[in-house]
Amino acid sequence: MDKAYELLIKSLPDGVDIDFVQDKLAKQNIETPSWGYGDSGTRFQVFKQPGAARNVFEKLEDAAEVHHMTGITPNVALHIPWDKVSDYKEVADYAQKLGLGVGAINPNLFQEPEYKLGSICHPDPTVREKAVGHMLECIEIMNATGSKVLSLWLADGTNYPGQDDFRRRKRRLEEAMHTVYAALGDEQRLLIEYKFFEPAFYHTDIADWGMATLLAMKLGPKADTLVDLGHHALGTNIEHIVAYLIDEGKLGGFHFNSKKYADDDLTTGAINPYELFLIYNELAAGEANLESELDIVYMIDQSHNVKPKVAAMIQSVEQIQIAYAKALLVDRKSLKEAQDQGDIIEAETILRAAYDRDVTPLLIKVREKLGVPANPLKAHLKSGYLAKVVKERS
């Protein structure tokens, strides 16, 4: 056993089963987004990057590079129509050839001229029908690709007070979602993402986790809430939302990213890694306390405009892996004792100790098991992958 790993093991609290922790880390599964590999950017400028993927097949190749380096990103989320093709079977076959699977299918209800006043909440029934039709088309794509998840973010909302009636929009939303829900297959599920602003700036029709969850509860057991870390007002306690949704059995998915100001889509963990750890602390506590496994789809939602895209994705995966590893090593027994005794200093110290722990030696062991490089980011940067695709895709 190497020295650093030995020291880490010695420092662990009693009761931590290191084989269990290693197993959990080896089974971690983070989905990466196709839209993170192509040229996209802000509304100000798209800085085109040499070698950026030009179509869904090249996006899959980049995703495969991330998976080869990290070993924990076997699925790729698609966005329709950004990834529209005539034959989706071909996409699924190519993914399989690369050792990948098709993850969540994301409908796009925000880029057609008709959607100026909304999609499924629009006052005009013909626009609502078109939007529902698009979601049904996405379910067909799920059937063709083997995807199990329809992941919906709705850009619907209004820009001015009085523009439309909140309650009438709410009822249109529910009616449309019932139609979509009814078309889901037995093994398929619907994730509902919320966001309190943008592109509408007065109100959005699914503004927060409460609205998303009420809708998911009305729809039924195949519908759950998706938490995107960039979709909350500054200062929101996201880990509390996560714990609450776990307890209600309605946490279905994550969109990982990081923010300083709003929905900045920065590399996960870039701004507040302690928050990421506290979120994972709730997930690890949930896993430890529930009798059944949590059924959560962990996805990254980032599209980098100024950072090299594949490297940024690997950086994000590493940050998520670190947060999970630290959370798995929290001394839960002592934490509960401290909480029960009202010992605030001790409780917080236990969490900080887990956050401050260097988990690198543990991750190296897990990566060894997975057959991937000990340092994925470094290995990718040294691999010559970027130079190769720049040449091929020029």
Other beta carbons less than 10 A from residue 345's beta carbon: 8
The binding track of 253-282 with respect to ligand PSV, each residue x by CB under 6 A or -, is --x-------x-------------------
Minimum distance from CB of 349 to Mn ion (Å)?
35
List the interface residues with ligand PSV, window 133-162 (CB under 6 A): 153
Q: How far apart, in whole angstroms, are the C-alpha atoms of residue 270 and residue 358?
A: 17
Q: Binding of ligand PSV at residue 228 (CB under 6 A)?
A: yes
Q: Binding of ligand PSV at residue 106 (CB under 6 A)?
A: yes
Minimum distance from CB of 255 to ligand PSV (Å)?
5
Residue matched to tokens 């799920």: 142
Applying CB under 6 A, among 193, 282, 318, 331 the residue interacting with ligand PSV is 193
Q: Which does 196 bind (CB under 5 to 8 A by kind): ligand PSV, Mn ion, none?
A: none
344: amino acid identity, one letter:
I
Indicate the residue among 172 and 232 with the shorter CB distance to ligand PSV.
232
In the bound state, the residue with its beta carbon closest to ligand PSV is 153
Q: Which does 263 bind (CB under 5 to 8 A by kind): ligand PSV, Mn ion, none?
A: ligand PSV
Which backbone phi and psi does 299 adopt, to 5 degrees? Answer: -130, 150
CA distances for 382 relative to 71, 376, 377, 387, angstroms: 17, 10, 9, 10
Q: How far apart, in whole angstroms, are the C-alpha atoms of residue 375 and residue 385?
A: 15
Q: Which does 106 bind (CB under 5 to 8 A by kind): ligand PSV, Mn ion, none?
A: ligand PSV
Residue matched to tokens 């007065």: 202
Q: Which residues, 6 or more positions from 329, have their beta carbon under 8 angstroms from its beta carbon? A: 12, 13, 16, 21, 354, 357, 359, 362
List the interface residues with ligand PSV, window 19-48 (CB under 6 A): 35
List the interface residues with Mn ion, window 173-232 (CB under 5 A): 228
Q: Which does 148 bind (CB under 5 to 8 A by kind): ligand PSV, Mn ion, none?
A: none
The binding track of 299-328 with respect to Mn ion, each residue x by CB under 5 A or -, is --x---------------------------
Indicate the residue among 164 and 205 with the shorter CB distance to Mn ion.
205
> In the chain, where does DSSP find H-type helix?
3-11, 18-26, 56-70, 88-97, 125-145, 166-182, 209-219, 238-248, 273-289, 309-328, 332-340, 344-356, 360-370, 376-383, 385-392
Q: Binding of ligand PSV at residue 301 (CB under 6 A)?
A: yes
Q: How far apart, in whole angstroms, are the C-alpha atoms of residue 182 and residue 178?
A: 6
Query: Which residues are at the interface with ligand PSV (CB under 6 A)?
Result: 35, 106, 153, 193, 195, 228, 255, 263, 301
User: What does the binding site for Mn ion look like in residue numbers (CB under 5 A)?
Assistant: 228, 255, 301
